[in-house]
Chains A and B, each alone.
Chain A
Amino acid sequence: MSEGTVKKFMFVNRKAPYGTIYALESLEVVLITAAFDQDVSLVFMDDGVFQLKKGQQTKGIENKNFSPTYRALDGYDIEKLYVEEEALAARGLTEDDLLVDVTVMPRAELGKLMDEMDVVLSF
C-alpha cells in the first residue's frame, strides 16, 4: 500500500437496520476500508440511529443480527462514531440505548464535519 495518502472518509448511515440492506452493506464496506489505514468516520442520522440500538434479537425474522459487529469497530481502530442528536430525540432514544460509545452532535455540526471530508459514502 502506498504511504502518505490518508484520506478522510465518512460513511453516512440513514437507514434502519433490517428493512433494507443498506446498513449491513455499509458495515461491510467500513470493515474493508479499515484494512487500508484511512481516516474513517461513521455518522448515524435519521433512521440510521436505529442501527446502534441495544438488544436487537433477530431470531424471529431469520436475519443475521449484525449489531454486535459495531462493537468490533474499536478493534479495527475505527473510533469516530457520530450520532445525530435530533434523530435520537425524535425516536425516543438516548445515548444509553446505544450499544457503542458515540459522540452525539446536532445535525448542523454534522454538516460542517461532512464538508471537511475527502470522500463521503452514502447509505
Chain B
Amino acid sequence: MSSIEVNGKSYETDEEGYLVNLADWNEDVGNYLAKTESVEMTDQHWEVINFLRDYYNEFQIAPAVRVLTKAIGKKLGPEKGTSQYLYALFPYGPAKQACKIAGLPKPTGCV
C-alpha cells in the first residue's frame, strides 16, 4: 500500500495514486492530487470535481467519460458537455485524472 502526506497527515492510496478511502478527501488533498497530475486547478476544474463527487455520492460509481460528458452538459450547460472541454481541463483523460483528484476510485470500464 502506498500513501501520500498532506498537511502532516498521511492518506492511503493504491499503487496508481488513487485515494483508498473516499472519506479521506478534502480540498487540500484534492489540490495535492492535482499537483501530482500537473493540473493547475481553476474554478472550472473544481466545478467538474464537485460534480463527480456528487455523482459518486448519488450512484456509488464514477461515471464513464461518455456518461460524464452528457451529465455535465445537462447540469452545467451544453458548452461544457463536450469531451473537448473536459480534455482541455484534464488532458490525460477526465475520467482518469478528474476521478483521481476527486478522491474517487478509478471508473469501471475506464477506456
A residues contacting B by CB (< 8 A) are 28, 31-32, 34-35, 64-66, 68-69, 71-72, 75-76
Contact = CB atoms under 8 A, between A and B. Distances in A.
By secondary structure, the A interface counts as helix
B15 interface: no
Contacts of A64: 60
B59 A35 contact: no
B109 A31 contact: yes
B64 interface: yes
Contacts of B6: none
Contacts of A31: 61, 64, 108-109
A76 B70 CA distance: 10
Bin the interface of chain B by size.
10 to 19
Given A34-B109, A68-B60, A72-B63, 9 more contacts: A28-B108, A32-B108, A34-B64, A35-B64, A35-B109, A68-B59, A69-B59, A71-B59, A72-B67
Interface of B: 58-61, 63-64, 66-67, 70-71, 108-109, 111
Nearest to A75: B67
B71 A68 contact: no
A55 B71 CA distance: 25
Contacts of B108: 28, 31-32
Contacts of A68: 58-60
